[in-house]
Every structure is written in structure tokens, then in C-alpha cells.
Amino acid sequence: MKGDEEMDIKTHDGYEKLLEHLLQAYNQAAVGKGKERHANNLPFEQQEICQGNRELGSMDGAIFQARKKAKESKILLKLKGKEAAKAELYGAINYLCAACVLIDEIEP
């Protein structure tokens, strides 16, 4: 998909909550904290979340960051509540998506 093309998402009964949280992660990256702090007006796959891993020659950095954010979400849940914990997990999801972008780039 490119630019402002609409994505046709087919919903399935029983998967509404999954879609809700995946869209929250997407929105964090595309219009929320991720875009504000990290995008530098670049597409997702050209941002540091992907580019830094390319420079290192692996997706290990993205995997590590996702792990770190998942662990931190447990602490945030206790200290700052549910929304802060979920926001951290949405960041983890976005790091895992960066790893998927890098996998897509691997030549067969």
C-alpha cells in the first residue's frame, strides 16, 4: 500500500479486540508519539526503527527493543496504570512490525 490508499480490513467475529489493539499500535506510530518523536517526516520503513537495524545488519535491535518495552509495560502498569502499560506494548508491537519489514527485505 502507498500513501493515502484505503485498506480494506475484513473483520471477523471474535477478533474485534485484536483489531482494536493493532490499530492503536498503528496510530501510535503513524499519528501519535512515534510520529511526533521519531518519524522526521520519513515513511516507517525509512525511520530509525528500521534504518538502525539495517546499519547493524540484523533485526536484533528491534527484537530487543520489543522485549524491553514488553517488560517495562509490567512496571508501568503498577506505577502509571493501564493506559501507560498498553502504550508501551503498542510500542513493542511497532518494533516487531519493524522486524517484519526487515524480514521482507531479505533476498530469497
pLDDT tens for each residue of 54-97: 999 999 999 999 999 999 999 999 999 999 999 999 999 999 99
Q: Answer whether residue 6 is part of any domain.
A: no
Q: Is residue 93 part of a domain?
A: yes
For residue 5, being part of any structural domain is answered with no
Give the number of domains in the chain.
Answer: 1
The answer to whether residue 64 sits within a structural domain is yes
Rounded CA separation 23/17 (Å): 10
Residue 8 within any structural domain of the chain: no
In a domain, 12, yes or no: no
Q: Is residue 7 part of a domain?
A: no
Spatial contact of 1 and 44, defined as CB atoms under 8 Å apart: no
Q: Is the pLDDT of residue 2 over 60?
A: no
Residue 3 buriedness (CB in 10 A; 0-12 / 13-18 / 19+): exposed
Supply the pLDDT for residue 89. 98
The size of the chain, in residues, is: 108
Q: 27 in a domain, yes or no? A: yes
Confidence of residue 3 (pLDDT cuts 50, 70, 90): low
Domain hosting residue 75, numbered range: 20-104
Distance from C-alpha of 42 to C-alpha of 56, rounded to nearest angstrom: 20
